Structure 1
Amino acid sequence: MKWVDVYDIAIELDEAYPDTDPLTVSFPQLYEWVMGLDGFDDDPERCGEKVLEGIQMAWIEERQ
């Protein structure tokens, strides 16, 4: 997975952290969790606030 795979990342986060409300996760924590996902392989420098916002929104949608 790469940073642009926001929906795939959201699905993986939802499976890895089923009891976590995505709105309560800080961006630094979200960054660390994404970096730790199995199958994630992208340059850490390519991530910014907009990418993390997109991942968070996709995760919220995944929950609904």
Structure 2
Amino acid sequence: MTLTWKDSLEIAIALDETHPDVDPRFVRFTDLHAWICALDGFEDNPERSNERILEAIQMAWMEERS
């Protein structure tokens, strides 16, 4: 599956599977950005992200956890 910055929920699920011991509430955006870019299937331009996108992914990750 190909992931882009628009795939917040799918990215959140992948992050939860990749980093099960991490509490998403305390992840810095710089780390979050790096982890997303390193996901298998992520094929979007790293420079196209912004704080709003990263926050949406972080919120989706927190929802996935609860």
Pick the TM interval, shorter chain.
Answer: over 0.9
Alpha-carbon distance in 1 for matches of 2:64, 2:8: 11
Structure 2 unaligned regions, length at least 5: none
1: distance between equivalents of 2:22 and 2:11? 15
CA distance in 2 between partners of 1:13 and 1:52 (Å): 12
Instruction: Using the TM superposition, give the Cα deviation of residue 45 of structure 1 relative to its aligned residue in structure 2, in angstroms.
Output: 1.4
Partner of 2:59: 57
- Number of equivalent positions: 64
Counterpart-to-counterpart distance in 2, 1:43 and 1:35: 9
TM-score by length of 2: 0.95
Query: Any residues of structure 2 matched to 1:9-48 within 5 Å, and which?
Result: 9-48=11-50
Deviations 1:8-51 (A, max 9, x none): 00000000000100011100000000000000000111100000
**Structure 1 consecutive aligned stretches of length 4 or more whose deviation exceeds 4 Å:** none
Structure 1: stretches of 5+ with no match in the other structure? none
Query: How big is the shift at 1:60?
Result: 0.1
Deviation (angstroms), 1:58: 0.1
| CA-based RMSD | 0.4
Structure 1 length-normalised TM: 0.98
